[in-house]
């Protein structure tokens, strides 16, 4: 499925969106990947994801619960209905990984660094210059570091070394299209859920005020 430029552009327009930021958080995708298979205990998640720090894992699990993607049932963590909607995209990402060579582990680590996923999704809308890849929640230094890493891995390229030359996806990068499409649909759904539009503005005549004759100054007594 081809990613439309308009769909990919949403990532740049809403770089702060909570869903993308949480998905990029370190180990979050790994946790969700294994919970797509079945509910897991804390120890199972720790062993499968390879998270060395218990405080980091506890923090990430707490964040995923707070955003409404996972829940704890009888000492096991499981996906909520909202979290389960990500599983088709997870399977597409894993299918893409399976087609890669020795770069797969390196790419997996890179995608868990802030800015990587946003860059890849944005470039599925077409080539963009570095200065146009702006994410308010990600520093400029981090964006440039991710661009270098993804270029070194062979997923991005530029026609020249000029600072104005746009970045674009290589053939390996474009193979991510099916996964990118599924991720964009899910991220946009979550953004709409987490940031619902404001309610309708109530219009009409103002409430009737109390007639002046019936109002008495505070402290006044009747019958005088």
Angle, vertex CA 187, rays to CA 36 and CA 151, nearest 5? 90
More reliable by pLDDT, 221 or 105: 105
Alpha-carbon span 143 to 86, nearest angstrom? 25
How much is the pLDDT for 66? Answer: 93
Per-residue pLDDT, averaged over 46-57, amounts to 91
How much is the pLDDT for 212? Answer: 47
Angle between helices 103-111 and 116-123 (to 10 degrees): 100
Alpha-carbon span 56 to 189, nearest angstrom? 27
- 10 Å CB burial of residue 138 (0-12, 13-18, 19+) is buried
Alpha-carbon span 58 to 42, nearest angstrom? 9
What fold characterizes domain 5-194? Arc Repressor Mutant, subunit A (1.10.10)
The label of the residue with tokens 């539009």 reads 197
pLDDT above 50 for 16: no
Of 7-11, 129-133, 181-185, the one with minimum mean pLDDT is 7-11
Alpha-carbon span 190 to 194, nearest angstrom? 6
Query: Measured on CA atoms in the order 107, 112, 115, 120, is the torsion positive or negative?
Result: positive
pLDDT confidence tier of residue 197, bands split at 50, 70 and 90: low
How much is the pLDDT for 98? Answer: 79
Tokens of 182: 């599924």
pLDDT confidence tier of residue 54, bands split at 50, 70 and 90: very high
């Amino acid at each position: 499925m081809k990613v439309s430029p308009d769909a990919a552009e949403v990532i740049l327009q809403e770089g702060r969106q909570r869903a993308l930021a949480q998905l990029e958080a370190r180990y979050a995708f790994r946790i969700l990947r294994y919970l797509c298979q079945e509910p897991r205990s804390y120890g199972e998640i720790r062993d499968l994801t390879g998270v060395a720090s218990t405080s980091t894992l506890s923090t990430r699990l707490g964040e995923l619960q707070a955003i409404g993607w996972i829940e704890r049932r009888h000492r096991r963590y499981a996906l909520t209905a909202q979290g389960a909607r990500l599983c088709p995209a997870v399977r597409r990402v894993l299918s893409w990984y399976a087609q890669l060579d020795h770069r797969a582990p390196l790419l997996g680590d890179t995608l868990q660094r802030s800015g990587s996923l946003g860059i890849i999704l944005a470039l599925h809308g077409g080539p963009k210059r570095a200065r146009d890849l702006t994410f308010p929640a990600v520093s400029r230094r981090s964006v440039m570091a991710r661009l270098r890493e993804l270029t070194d891995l062979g997923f991005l390229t530029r026609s020249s070394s000029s600072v104005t030359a746009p970045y674009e996806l290589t053939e390996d990068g474009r193979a991510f299209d099916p996964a990118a499409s599924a991720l964009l649909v899910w991220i946009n759904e979550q953004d709409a859920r987490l940031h619902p539009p404001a309610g309708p503005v109530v219009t009409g005549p103002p409430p009737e005020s109390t007639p002046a004759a019936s109002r008495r100054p505070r402290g006044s007594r009747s019958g005088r």
